[in-house]
């Protein structure tokens, strides 16, 4: 990340903060969350997600040691907080996201995990342990999905975090399914007994890739099992949910308390809204770049995040969208985007986000479903062209191809209005 002059004192101006008490297990229920995503879960993405209805947001995984020696600096103009390593910012955040921000840790060591959590705890509301990353750089050192087959270590990290962190910081975990449901339930029982507030289950096994359909049908039994333990812990579904409207379907199938979205939000950070933005090259892209510029955000990371956007084109012609993307691809810095983003400083974007969060607390943006939603077992078939990646007889049920959509109560289905450089307004 690039940096400008910093001071360790708090910013002279910051958005007026809504007074919100610390998170509890209840705050992890009836929500739609932004998943942890390295690179793609950058600060501007998290803020746009919150503005458009994400209930809570996870930061990208940070390996425990990486943050330990970082210097915490506050930008006196914007209030952005950077944890700077030797050559770059390891993690950036802003006080307006603190009530909704979960910091994710990659660790294979209880002591280091606690040190990492203590390093950032003044700026976050919860810490989450990544027990699902299947990549060799994570698993080689015993982190991520390697923890799934080392439950003693996994649970010792969670226990240490819960014991050492103050009660106002929640502790949660994100796991993957094990190949057998029986083993998954055994693991879940141990994890839940560590005292966590919430458990996210990425409904894929360690060997499955994102292109493999998530085994969401296996979650219902896990949710019921956790509920039967009587600790009030939230179970969060993760895998293949595309947005707010799709989250209703996922909750109906799984019974999960909440849903977490990764790639859907990478493609469109406004997917948390019942009316996500379309024509992103024209709507979200300029706003995103203006905010990133105001934050002095790293240009390469900004460009990467924006390049992931995908949306329906309604008012914008494909040719125009392609031209805008070409300008982006060729730009070597924020100034290369002046024709597209206008001459604004980006402060307007920040103020609009702060106002939207203040007016409608993201934690009130809840998805309330009918209390009894039974699965129609007769509707179970494998969708055409889809393979169930689990071996036959593993107990993994098939995907229902029809869903009985319960009448859902959707709260707070509104979007704030943001001015555009042309003087008009776009629902951003």
Q: Which residues are at the interface with ligand FMN (CB under 6 A)? A: 35-40, 60-61, 104, 130, 132-133, 174, 202, 210, 214, 238-241, 261-264, 266
Measured from the Cβ of residue 339, the count of other Cβ atoms closer than 10 Å reads 9
Q: Which is nearer to ligand FMN, 37 or 114 (CB)?
A: 37
Q: Considering the complex, what minimum distance in angstroms separates the CB of residue 422 from ligand FMN?
A: 32
Of 133, 241, 271, 305, which is the active-site residue?
133
Token pair 């980006």 in the structure block, residue: 346
Q: 128 — phi, psi (to 5°)?
A: -125, 140
Q: Which is nearer to ligand FMN, 209 or 332 (CB)?
A: 209
Whether residue 301 contacts residue 42, with contact meaning beta carbons closer than 8 Å, is answered with yes
* Total residue length of the chain: 428
- Rg (Cα) of the chain, in Å, rounded? 21
Q: Considering the complex, what minimum distance in angstroms separates the CB of residue 131 from ligand FMN?
A: 8
Q: Which is nearer to ligand FMN, 39 or 186 (CB)?
A: 39
Annotated active-site residue 155? The verdict is no
Q: Considering the complex, what minimum distance in angstroms separates the CB of residue 161 from ligand FMN?
A: 16
Whether residue 165 contacts residue 159, with contact meaning beta carbons closer than 8 Å, is answered with no
Q: Which token pair is 274?
A: 């019942």
Q: Which is nearer to ligand FMN, 39 or 310 (CB)?
A: 39
Q: Considering the complex, what minimum distance in angstroms separates the CB of residue 417 from ligand FMN?
A: 28
Q: Considering the complex, what minimum distance in angstroms separates the CB of residue 267 from ligand FMN?
A: 10
Q: 19 — phi, psi (to 5°)?
A: -80, 115
Q: Which is nearer to ligand FMN, 58 or 350 (CB)?
A: 58
3-state helix/strand/coil string of the chain: CCCCCCECCCCCCCCCCCCCCCCCHHHHCCCEEECCCCCCCCHHHHHHHHHCCCCCEECCCEEHHHHHCCEEEECCCCCCEEEECCCCEEEEECHHHHHHEEEEEECCCHHHHHHHHHHHHHHCCEEEEEECCCCHHHHCCCCHHHHHHCHHHHHHHHHHHHHHCCCCCEEEEEEEECCCHHHHHHHHHHHHCCCCCEEEEEEEECCCCCCCCCCHHHHHHHHHHHHHCCCCCEEEEECCCCCHHHHHHHHHHHCCCEEEECHHHHHCCCCCCCCCCCCCCCCHHHHHHHHHHHCCCCHHHHHHHHHCCCCCCCCCCHHHHHHHHHHHHHCCCHHHHHHHHCCCCCHHHHHHHHHHHHHCCHHHCCEECCCCCCCCHHHECCCCCCCCCCCCCCCCCCCECCCCCCCCEECCCCCCEEECCCCCEEEC
Measured from the Cβ of residue 68, the count of other Cβ atoms closer than 10 Å reads 15
- CA atoms of 23 and 258, how far apart (whole Å): 15
Q: Considering the complex, what minimum distance in angstroms separates the CB of residue 259 from ligand FMN?
A: 9
Q: Which is nearer to ligand FMN, 105 or 291 (CB)?
A: 105
Q: Which is nearer to ligand FMN, 143 or 352 (CB)?
A: 143
* Positions marked catalytic: 133
């Amino acid at each position: 990340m690039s940096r400008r002059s910093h001071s360790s004192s708090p910013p002279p101006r910051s958005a007026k903060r809504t007074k919100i008490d610390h998170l509890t297990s209840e705050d992890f229920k009836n929500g739609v969350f932004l998943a942890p995503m390295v690179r793609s879960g950058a600060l501007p993405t998290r803020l746009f997600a919150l503005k458009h209805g994400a209930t809570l947001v996870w930061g990208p995984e940070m390996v425990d040691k990486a943050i330990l020696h970082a210097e915490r600096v506050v930008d006196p103009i914007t209030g952005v907080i950077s944890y700077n390593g030797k050559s770059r910012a390891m993690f950036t955040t802003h006080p307006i996201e603190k009530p909704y921000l979960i910091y994710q840790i990659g660790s294979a060591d209880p002591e280091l995990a606690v040190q990492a959590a203590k390093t950032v705890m003044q700026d976050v509301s919860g810490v989450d342990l990544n027990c699902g990353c299947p990549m060799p750089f994570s698993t080689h050192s015993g982190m991520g999905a390697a923890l799934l087959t080392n439950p003693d270590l996994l649970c010792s990290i969670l226990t240490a975090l819960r014991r050492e962190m103050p009660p106002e910081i929640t502790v949660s975990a994100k796991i993957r399914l094990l190949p057998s449901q029986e083993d998954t339930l055994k693991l879940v029982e141990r994890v839940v007994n560590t005292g966590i507030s919430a458990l996210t289950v990425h409904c894929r096994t360690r060997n499955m890739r994102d292109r493999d359909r998530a085994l969401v049908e296996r979650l219902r039994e896990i949710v019921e099992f956790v509920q039967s333990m009587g600790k009030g812990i939230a179970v969060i579904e993760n895998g293949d949910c595309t947005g707010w409207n799709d989250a209703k379907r996922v909750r109906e199938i799984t019974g999960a308390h909440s849903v977490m979205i990764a790639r859907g939000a990478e493609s469109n950070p406004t997917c948390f809204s019942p009316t996500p933005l379309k024509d992103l090259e024209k709507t979200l892209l300029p706003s995103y770049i203006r905010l990133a510029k105001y934050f002095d955000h790293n240009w390469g990371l900004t460009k990467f995040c924006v390049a992931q956007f995908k949306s329906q084109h309604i008012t914008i012609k494909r040719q125009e969208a392609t031209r805008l993307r070409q300008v982006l691809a060729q730009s070597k810095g924020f100034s290369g985007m002046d024709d597209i983003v206008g001459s604004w400083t980006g402060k307007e974007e920040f103020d609009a986000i702060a106002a939207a969060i203040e007016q409608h607390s993201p934690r009130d943006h809840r998805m309330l479903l009918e209390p009894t939603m039974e699965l129609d077992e007769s509707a179970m078939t494998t969708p055409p062209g889809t393979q169930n990646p689990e071996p036959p007889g593993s107990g993994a049920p098939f995907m229902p191809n029809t869903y009985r959509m319960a009448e859902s109560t959707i709260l707070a289905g509104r979007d704030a209005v943001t001015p555009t450089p042309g003087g008009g307004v776009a629902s951003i």
